[in-house]
Structure 1
Amino acid sequence: MKKRTHLLFSVFSVLILSSFFSCRQEDEEVVAPIVVEDTDQTLQNILITGWVYEVMREYYYWNDYVMPPNSYEQDPEDYFYSQLNEADLFSFMTNDYQGLMEEFSGVYTSMGYSPFFGRLSSTDEIFIAVEYVYPNSPAQRAGLQRGDIILAIDGQRLTEENYYDLYTQDQYTATLANYGEDSGFIVTDETLSLAAEVIVADPVLHKEVISTADKTVGYLVYAEFISGDNQAWLTSLDIALDEFAQAGVTDVVIDLRYNPGGEIEVAQYLASALAPTSAVSGEEVLVRYDYNEQLASSIIFYEGESSENVVSTFINTGHQLNLNQIYFLTSGSTASASELLISGLDPYMDVIVVGEPTLGKFYGSWVIPDLVEPARHNWAAMPIVLKYTNAVGASDFAEGLTPDYAMEDDLLYARPFGDPADPLLGTALSLISSEQSARTLIDRGHKPYTDLENPVKSQKSKLLLPNSQISTEGKTEFNF
């Protein structure tokens, strides 16, 4: 990605910055001013590394362990990651702040499908399985569907060394394959030409009212907790909830298998629409937040203990379903705001989870760009700034939330959304209908593949806090 930089530092400014950071913390040694060669890249590294240090000392959840850089000339990204606590698997920074915010808005450049990267067990066979496809995207127009398997791109078989580089190209030809338990992958003659473009990624992927023998079930597949420009995606969510209400649904299944998280305000909104009216009208606690000591003191001093940055409560959305029980479908990709939704509702209603253990992320972040105007650089940091607990203090589920009914989400046998033959959805429907549980449904045992790294999903596995208006003496007001 291209860096947009504003090299506004003079040598005098560098010396001032050096003095500021060397003297800022009483418990740190005073270091001599930095003497560096006066080059644009060196000055830029000094600027950004100093900015990273300030951000981490002020806002990082484990800020007591943040040390000043050995040299402000060092690579800012290397310095940032060197300061992360060993328990922190989620903080990150990017040199494309504008691109990051476009991702969070749901309008960005993409081919429009969500990939799962896997390696077939006991082989070197790498594949991409399609988790879902956004409507009206290049992928959908090309004919790509949920459950399709890509085994080669531009004629190159996927390997652990090339799969992500090939996938992230702006355009390519994908070669599809079929899978059989006995035959393994068999390459087909089918190829699809794909080219990225600006797409509108409505997180309401699928909504449907399903009638069983004795129940009416609302089924919602939700991809990401984002509100969109001008709250567009909250409106989309409202439409789905209203359709459920008008159909008189007795039960609701929320499919979060591929939902990596997003904005806390959207999780709060959906939780409030699902929760019992008593919890909403009483403005009961959904979750509480814990920060580093200095930041917690500042927030409480300037905003009070009832601030939305201290506690998130149920709110009246005008679209309440007033449920006493709720079903969630989960996988190892279910993370962050998704987990907050499940955990936050648990003290108030019967929460039934079907699927795989979730990721296990009970931390939240702020997006922190350069706050000087005009911005001196295009970097943004997303450090972990808090840990959340639900109303009864539950947190620290590092191994993920444990499902009530364990069932693997095997993408080699993926069914269309809403198909009762999907083992996870079928399980929930059978439980709702008081039929036999999913344990009697087809269960192929352990998935015949292992997960590979998905940087796209890792970056999106975030819990973003609402806009913060923290003002402290001598500091700029922050509005993330």
Structure 2
Amino acid sequence: EINARCDALGKDSLLTADLFWVMRPYFDRLHHEDPHYRIVPVGMLDSTVYPTPGDRKRAYRRIRMPAFNILQINDTLLVDRSLDPAFRRGDRIAAIDGIPAAEYLRYVYDDRHMEPSTLLFGHHFELFRQRFRIDLERGGEPLTVETEGLPYRDALFRLCKAEETDANIRTYADARCGYIAIPQFFPDNSRLVRILRRAIVGFKRQGITDIVLDLRRNPGGNGHAFDELLSIFIDKPTVEYCTGQQVRASKEAMRYYDFLTEEQLGQVVALPESEYVRSFATDPNMYVGGMRYWVLVGRDTGSIAASFVNILQYNGAALLAGEPLRHNALKYGEVLDGGWFLPVLLGESCVSMVRIDELTRRDDGYVLPDIPIPAVAAEYLAGDDAQLDRLLEIVRARQR
């Protein structure tokens, strides 16, 4: 396959992006087994051009990107949230700098949410430019916008800031429903727990008893204070989490688990119960009763976020709505930094260390929504959040 790609391009060797293009089906298979695991392009600046750390730092500061997020639905790319008024939510991205959107999608994973930097970086490191020409379709009409974008780090920071929970708590009065987005979990979730409980209590005081929790963008993070967090939603003294966990013994794992020995290297070893949480007690003072929760999920709901929504579903504390989570979203965790595949500029984003036997409704590796609401590109062209709108229709119907 590598030789065939070389022949098609008229080359005797492949650049990093072309190698990814050839290997993509195999990378997808690994990603299907463990959603944490990705092989991705790794950027390096030429040390002969940028010889000092200061030179490299200044070069990275010059990197820019179009100032919006992207929604990927099958072969369609749509503008999601934008910091630049020249772009509107629902604009269909037809091409960037003359390269069709479908071509970019050959070089990236099928994440529902992403930034333009992911597309450009994966396609021959095209992020390293100062101006972008973007062909759009808006209201059925073609449109071309040229933009310098924003400095890469500034754009990412401001886009992430706009998605934070603090900025995404609101009420849909016509549906008598509250809405809270939870886009990530943190090494310290104490503040998030306080924000969530205060918002839920506030909704209840307004007479609102239906609440949508939106975790479609949440890739995971840290499970700190999850006992407190889940105590808000689950009215049980104890929550059962898993039946066991195993670790693959390696030199890296031995730094975290001192019971592992050299003789066990390469083996999958059961963790002693002292090394993981099988169940946890809830705090009855945290529980907010009389509420009905609807949780929006999708393929980007991963890692500890996948565990959060699964625990809610398994314990009957919420109905999940949206799309299935990725295969084995619950199965692996405790990730380590991955390695590089030099001399090509590809590397592992991370490698899971632990396998988890989490309690769930199914045994085929999938967490499925109770209310399927697929993402349909045509329904997003007007700039609306089509999945949320359809869920709110269901909430209204249940209230009648």
Q: TM class, shorter-chain normalised?
A: 0.5 to 0.7
Distance in 1 between the 2:89 and 2:286 partners?
Answer: 30
Query: Structure 1 length normalisation: TM-score?
Result: 0.51
Superposition deviation, residue 386 in structure 1: 1.3
Residues 1:425 and 2:392 aligned together:
yes
Distance in 2 between the 1:85 and 1:358 partners?
Answer: 13
Alignment CA distance shift 1:425-1:314 (3 Å) = farther
Distance in 2 between the 1:425 and 1:153 partners?
Answer: 35
**3-state SS in 2 of match to 1:357:** coil
Q: Residue 368 of structure 1: which of 323, 336, 347 is its match?
A: 336
Alignment CA distance shift 1:186-1:313 (3 Å) = farther
**3-state SS in 2 of match to 1:220:** strand
Q: Map residues 217-256 of structure 1 onto 2, 5 A cutoff.
A: 217-223=177-183, 225-227=184-186, 231=188, 234-236=190-192, 238-248=194-204, 249-256=208-215
Summarize deviations over 1:349-397 as a string: whole Å, max 9, x none.
3432222222231223223249xxxxxxx9874225212312xx64534
Q: Which amino acid is 1:348 matched to?
A: N
Is this contact kept in 2: 1:251–1:323, CA < 8 A?
no
Q: Which amino acid is 1:218 matched to?
A: G
Q: Which amino acid is 1:221 matched to?
A: A
Alignment CA distance shift 1:417-1:316 (3 Å) = farther
> Number of aligned pairs?
309
Match of 1:211 in 2: 173
Unmatched runs of 5 consecutive residues or more in structure 2: 1-22, 44-63, 108-117, 122-126, 261-270, 339-346
Distance in 2 between the 1:260 and 1:188 partners?
Answer: 33
Please identify the structure whose Cα radius of gyration is greater.
Answer: 1
Superposition deviation, residue 219 in structure 1: 0.9
Unmatched runs of 5 consecutive residues or more in structure 1: 1-76, 98-108, 120-125, 134-138, 180-184, 371-377, 436-480
**3-state SS in 2 of match to 1:367:** strand
Distance in 1 between the 2:313 and 2:105 partners?
Answer: 42
Q: Map residues 326-405 of structure 1 onto 2, 5 A cutoff.
A: 326-360=293-327, 361-369=329-337, 381-390=350-359, 394=361, 396-398=363-365, 400-405=366-371
Match of 1:284 in 2: 239
Q: Which amino acid is 1:167 matched to?
A: L
Summarize deviations over 1:124-173 as a string: whole Å, max 9, x none.
xx54213x43xxxxx41445444332222234433425775753325534
Q: Identity, % of aligned pairs?
A: 17
**3-state SS in 2 of match to 1:334:** coil
Distance in 1 between the 2:231 and 2:68 partners?
Answer: 29
Distance in 2 between the 1:154 and 1:341 partners?
Answer: 40
Distance in 2 between the 1:425 and 1:313 partners?
Answer: 33
**3-state SS in 2 of match to 1:262:** coil
Q: Residue 167 of structure 1: which of 120, 133, 136 is its match?
A: 120
Distance in 2 between the 1:146 and 1:404 partners?
Answer: 28
Distance in 2 between the 1:93 and 1:158 partners?
Answer: 21
Match of 1:194 in 2: 149
Superposition deviation, residue 269 in structure 1: 5.2
Q: Which amino acid is 1:274 matched to?
A: F
Summarize deviations over 1:289-317 as a string: whole Å, max 9, x none.
4214869999696996254x243535549
Q: Map residues 36-55 of structure 1 onto 2, 5 A cutoff.
A: none
Is this contact kept in 1: 2:242–2:356, CA < 8 A?
no
Superposition deviation, residue 245 in structure 1: 0.9
Q: Which amino acid is 1:410 matched to?
A: V
Residues 1:409 and 2:368 aligned together:
no
**3-state SS in 2 of match to 1:291:** strand
Q: Map residues 446-465 of structure 1 onto 2, 5 A cutoff.
A: none
Is this contact kept in 1: 2:90–2:138, CA < 8 A?
no
Superposition deviation, residue 118 in structure 1: 4.7
Alignment CA distance shift 1:247-1:351 (3 Å) = closer
